[in-house]
Amino acid sequence: MNSIKKERQQIFNDVYSNIIPKRVPIDISFSLEVVAGYAGLNVKDVLWNPTLIESTVMELAQKVFSDTCILGGIPRIPSSTQAMGSINSVMSSKGFMQHPNVVGLLEDEYDMFIEDPYACIIETILPRLYKEMNISIYGPRSLFAALQGMNAKNEFLSKFETVRGKLIQKFGYYERPRGASSGVYACMDFLSDNIRSFTGICLDIKKRPEKILAANEALYPYNYKVGLPTVIHREGEVFIPLHMPPFMREKDFEKLWWPTFKRQLVDYASLGIHTRIFCEGNWMRYLEYLQDLPSNTRIQFEYGDPKTIKRKLGNKFILIGLFPISILTHFSKQQCIDETKKFLDIMAPGGNYIFTFDKIPLTYSDINLENLIAVSETVREYGVYDNAGQKAGSQFNKNDYKHSNSPPFTSKYYRTWEEYKKLFPETPDSARTIVENLENDILKFVYKLLL
């Protein structure tokens, strides 16, 4: 096991260091819903107690080869969202957590949001989307709801990470350095999701684009701060799923969506922080924009032409994804093997590629396990480089990027260390990290309630 663990560590280290690895890294993972389907368990039970799938996911790990842990995709957590009375994350009759098209901010409330996004979220948006947190209705009990939501989330994640930890220990999966990874949204995607909703933001693009621009600018310091990882490391990354651009006209994308997004990636790059973006939908018309992002950005695609993407982006960036998961259920085993080889012939040459599917399966019926095993083994055996150790792509240098020095995050509900010291002057300086972590934990918890 130590040998395969070392191999996995080395191939990812090589990819992130612009070196052609021994073979193509494989990143395959299953959600709790998929594992529950394989085990014949009720999804509802598993979403309340992820330890129920421990033996099953161990069995799957024996069958499916992956260099990264096969248990991934942290779900919306019903024990947490229901404690807070969520209407933006609700469980269906079949046990799946659904995300309705809800509105947290009304069209005439933009100015309130622009003045202080964090305060607006706390005072106006959360009470609409999480009914139990509405203090005007539930009074002091709204405090209990928030506490229960946080405790339930932490308890679930502790159980989930315990199962993942056992898998990593037993199978020697690749791990990023602790604290070197985080997640955030693009500013306009965050604004469009649970705040204005998809339909609301589409109307705003036509009727009040200047408000969107101002809201993005106001949101940027908060968004930037939430995305900062605790540790800066070459193998770490800020994960950003990208939603809106495939539904936008290019001129609106260029004016409204792109500026704050690119700024955030450049600001992170200037600090030595890498970003992994997931281009949901079809991004073929935006490839020229992506070419302007910092070197070694990890770009995962859902749809698109592999040959064009590899030719235009394969030298500067680390490419991920694109292999259609639908092949698993529509092709024979031999056809899956053949398609995998054809795909690798396009994406593997020159390095800078990590194999994964175009999307994570939602249910067990989305995969044919025998075919999936054949695909992963084909990548492992066929995706071997005969020029391992050679340079791959362009080198990243944080000095090539200049930080925008946007205004720091402030809010009437965010207390800095200096403000804390004024209130409690006897607090020793050694407590600063504890105080700041407590404040930032709330900051991130509030943000993630809107994802």
Q: Are 149 and 223 in contact (CB under 8 A)?
A: no
10 Å CB burial of residue 43 (0-12, 13-18, 19+) is: buried
Beta carbons of 319 and 24 less than 8 angstroms apart: no
CA dist 451 and 71 (Å) reads 21
pLDDT digits (tens, 9 = 90+) for 188-234: 999 998 899 999 999 999 999 999 999 999 999 999 999 999 999 99
Q: What is the CA 371 to chain-centroid distance, rounded?
A: 27
**Distances, alpha carbon 348 to alpha carbons 15, 42, 301, 354, 373, in Å:** 12, 39, 15, 8, 19
Q: Is residue 435 helix, strand or coil?
A: helix
322 Rama class: left (phi>0) / alpha (psi -120 to 50) / beta: left
Read off the amino acid at residue 377.
Answer: E
Distance CA 189, CA 125 (A): 16
pLDDT in tens, 154-179: 999 999 999 999 999 999 999 999 99
Whose structure tokens read 């989330």?
Answer: 153
Residue 79 reports pLDDT greater than 70: yes
How far is the C-alpha of 143 from the C-alpha of 152, rounded, in Å? 14
Region 258-286: mean pLDDT is 98
d(CA 25, CA 355): 6
pLDDT for the residue numbered 1: 64
Residue whose C-alpha is closest to residue 392's, from 432, 351, 354, 435: 351
Average pLDDT over residues 248-261: 98
Q: Which of 166, 211, 153 is nearest to 55 (CA)?
A: 166
Which residue in 369, 434, 281, 437 sits closest to 61, CA to CA?
Answer: 369
Please write the tens of the pLDDT for every residue from 217-227: 999 999 999 99
Q: What is the mean pLDDT of residues 439-450?
A: 96
181 bridge partner residues? 237
CA nearest 21: which of 70, 67, 69, 72? 67
Q: Which two tokens stand for residue 393?
A: 């792509």
- Mean pLDDT calculated for residue range 273-291: 98
The whole-angstrom separation of Cα 47 and Cα 44 is 5
252-268 mean pLDDT: 98
Q: CB-based contacts of 423: which residues, under 8 Å, 6+ apart?
A: none
- Please name the residue ranges forming H helices in 116-208: 117-120, 126-129, 135-138, 141-171, 187-190, 198-207
Alpha-carbon gap, residue 59 to 57, rounded angstroms: 5
What mean pLDDT comes out for the span 75-88? Answer: 93
Please write the tens of the pLDDT for every residue from 92-104: 888 878 888 899 9
Spatial CA neighbour of 359 closest among 282, 287, 285, 295 = 282
Instruction: Give the Cβ contact number of residue 330 at 10 Å.
Output: 11
Q: Which residue has the tokens 């235009």?
A: 312
Mean pLDDT of 174-187: 96
Q: How far apart are CA 72 and CA 279, in angstroms?
A: 19
Number of C-beta neighbours around residue 258 at 10 A: 19
Residue 298: which of 316, 323, 285 has the closest Cα? 316
CB neighbours (10 Å) of residue 390?
12
